Amino acid sequence: MAAVANVFVALSLPLAGSLTDHTPYRKNVVVWSWFILWLSNGIQIFCNQSTWEVMVVIQAVVCATSYMFHQTSILCYITEIVSDMDGQLQELNMLVRVWELGTMLCFIIGVFIFSKIMDFDALQQATTGQVS
């Protein structure tokens, strides 16, 4: 499924770039791709032994495609956000990496504590992690 998703993403990224660069819908692409990513991750709370195949498709294809659309559109904004490309871009990149690291650590600790309190099995931990 990951191979199919990667091919689909590769074929659809020119569309994301075209929408971002050649239409006035740049902000809409950013917002809607984020919303679809958020919604498709939220749907995964309903994952159980009978629905995991559908969830794999949602995770591999829908989430990956919407994430890449979002990233493509965001990266197209970078030149409009910063004025000093060298210094500000380096600082922006550093701050994003620090933010990602901090939120990931909080996420891992939070899911661990919550799953221990609720006495979750491995599947329940995975669905909690996906939704969080």
Give the pLDDT confidence of 29-65 residue by residue, as tens digits.
888 988 998 888 888 777 777 877 888 888 888 888 8
Where do the domains of the chain lie? 1-81, 82-132
Mean pLDDT of 83-93: 71
The yes-or-no verdict on residue 83 having pLDDT over 70 is no
The yes-or-no verdict on residue 26 having pLDDT over 70 is yes
The yes-or-no verdict on residue 85 having pLDDT over 70 is no
Whole-number Å distance between alpha carbons of 80 and 71: 15
Whole-number Å distance between alpha carbons of 108 and 68: 23
- At residue 35, the pLDDT reads 92
This model's pTM is above 0.85? no
Q: In three state form, how does the secondary structure of 55-123 look?
A: HHHHHHHHHHHHHHHHHHHHHHHHHHHCCCHHHHHHHHHHHHHHHHHHHHHHHHHHHHHHHHHHCCCHH
